[in-house]
Structure 1
Amino acid sequence: MNDLPQTPQSNIGAVMPSFLTHPYAQVVCQNKGELLYVLEWAKREGKTVSDYMWKVEKFPYHLFLAGKIVGWTDLTDRIGDKFSFQEFCQSVNWA
């Protein structure tokens, strides 16, 4: 028998790392695996992820996660704090 508390589906995922709450904070994905991992996390957090993002093949790819809709850029000269995939993984908690 599972004695762990049950959580509603909307609470699956994690607490948003504080460094990603700034609108210009970016997670930099260097390959398809990193991108898919971050997109899946965002989807589980209830964020809207464009169908296009799942098909991206050009890297690096920068994701903005502060809003309800995941933003992106493939340009590396955009203003804002950039965080690596490793920093992202160390900060989120997959519940």
Structure 2
Amino acid sequence: MKFLATITANVEVEMFRELLESNDIALNAKHRETGEFMLLAAGTTIFGEDLYVSEDQYEEALALYEAYFSGKADIDPKELTDQALHAENPEPLFYDESNAPEED
């Protein structure tokens, strides 16, 4: 197994694992420090997990890793908030006089 990266957020480890598995790449994740205990006790860990893949799949896994995580920095928080607020929603997120529910 060859070291690929360290990811600190457990949810990102699981999402990345699913991406690799969908590309037939096995991932071995090892908690750092007391991370496994913290995950069991607190539901999260600050230490992260070291990710390992087989040497023959390393290049493909690295390309997926770089593609997956390179887009994170490109997201403009204001644009993301605007998209969320203007997303199609059957009910308004906020009520004011113009869209308040009708009273019977």
TM-score scaled to structure 1, two decimals? 0.35
Q: Which has the larger radius of gyration?
A: 2
TM-score scaled to structure 2, two decimals? 0.33
